[in-house]
Amino acid sequence: MIYIHIPFCKQKCSYCNFHFSTSLNFKDEMISAMKTEIRLRKNELDNKSLKSLYFGGGTPSILSADEITSMIDEVLKYFSFDPDIEVTLEANPDDLDKNFLKQLSKSPVNRLSIGTQSFFNEDLKLMNRAHNASEAEGSIKRAQDFGFENLSIDLIYGSPTSNLEIWKENLNKTIALEVPHISSYALTVEPKTALESWISTGKVASPKEEEQNEEFYYLSDFLKDNGFEHYEVSNFAKPGFYSKHNSAYWKYKEYLGIGPSAHSYNGFDVRSWNVANNQQYIKKLYTGILAKEEEILSQNDQFNEMIMIGLRTIWGVDMGSLNDKFSAQVHEHFQNEIRSKIEEGILVVENNHLKIPEKHWFMADGIASDLFIV
């Protein structure tokens, strides 16, 4: 599978620390550089039949439909599409007007991931989103009108401008709109963001973990009652609408990341990442040089990643795979660390897979980190 990072946004969200630029001055040069990178790295994926192509960012919908299609055409020069290919475009609601959707519906894009975040203006203002509540709802309806049935929306809970009742209304609106996939995250305070500054100066109240905990479990119960499957800590889907792309990440499949700051993984022991600087990225690719670094993952690194990722999902960690992949010393550490947590009910073993019971999922990352080899 291939991930393409589009490093442009209209404006900076208050909570975001991803790599992007609000200047489009070098958009054409960036697209050209990414096409060059696709060509130079075409042999890094063993499987040339793609099951997923994902445009993330940044804001991929800031590109025109023609620019998106031209990127897809470049990929198709070196790869083929599986008959059930999932081609996802992350999009902001304010970009999804009728003209853009009409053009996009004629392209290979068959899944939209819409950055809704909330259906309430107070939340959206705090987050410094470029859309309003009306656009949040309207964009979903327009996408459906143009034939996009495979839709995902992002929702953020635990905002200082929200509460449980507002959160319930957000979820009721989502169900009414018949969205089949939801990715939902607690509002987090990342370093060097506007939100961090506002909280440190007392302009905005800090998110409360106990309220986020309550809203998370309400979210899980409510969506399950409405036919969704909670298949990863932050992801919910109707049957048949799991994200193929993200599911492949969580199952340790190989992937190729294109664009500044994008990461790649060979499915075993090599991880690489591109420079998180637009100008450096363009300059290097212009001369035919890859703008990436890589590392060889140690046994400990591989073990820790498998634990962290696996315990966030309904599939859990395949204990047989751990036995096959790692040394007796690693296996001994694993058995020693999980014993007490199994006795406490924080971990369970089902069909030789180690899992966190869903009632403890809000603390999944902390539970997983307790098992790490450091």
**Rounded-to-integer distance, Cα 56 and Cα 262, Å:** 9
pLDDT tens, position by position, 234-243: 999 999 999 9
Work out the mean pLDDT of the chain and round it to a whole number: 94
pLDDT tens, position by position, 114-145: 999 999 999 999 999 999 999 999 999 999 99
Task: Provide the β-strand partners of residue 257.
Answer: 3
Q: Which residues contact 298 (CB under 8 A, 6 or more apart)?
A: none
Q: What is the pLDDT of residue 25?
A: 86
The pLDDT of 97-112, averaged and rounded, is 97
Using omega within 30 degrees of 0 as the cis cutoff, is the peptide bond preceding 257 cis? no
CA 68 to chain centre: 19
Q: How confident is the model at residue 321 (pLDDT cuts 50, 70, 90)?
A: confident
Q: What's domain 2-250's architecture?
A: 2-Layer Sandwich (3.30)
Residues of the chain with CATH 3.30.750.200: 2-250
Q: How confident is the model at residue 16 (pLDDT cuts 50, 70, 90)?
A: confident
pLDDT tens, position by position, 39-66: 999 999 989 999 999 999 889 999 999 9
The CATH code that applies to domain 299-370 is 1.10.10
The SS3 of residue 176 is: helix
Q: What is the pLDDT of residue 251?
A: 86
The SS3 of residue 218 is: helix
Q: What is the pLDDT of residue 20?
A: 75
List C-alpha distances in Å: 236 to 51, 177, 257, 361: 20, 15, 24, 13
pLDDT tens, position by position, 348-372: 999 999 999 999 998 999 999 999 9
pLDDT tens, position by position, 285-297: 999 999 999 999 9
Residues of the chain with CATH 1.10.10: 299-370
The SS3 of residue 3 is: strand
CB atoms within 10 A of CB 335: 11
Residue 12 pLDDT more than 90?
no
Q: How confident is the model at residue 339 (pLDDT cuts 50, 70, 90)?
A: very high
The pLDDT of 249-271, averaged and rounded, is 93
Residue 22 pLDDT more than 90?
no
Residue 374 pLDDT more than 90?
no
pTM given for the model: 0.94
* Helix, strand, coil tally for the chain in percent (to 5): 45, 20, 35
Q: What is the pLDDT of residue 132?
A: 93
pLDDT tens, position by position, 181-232: 999 999 999 998 999 999 999 999 999 999 999 999 999 999 999 999 999 9
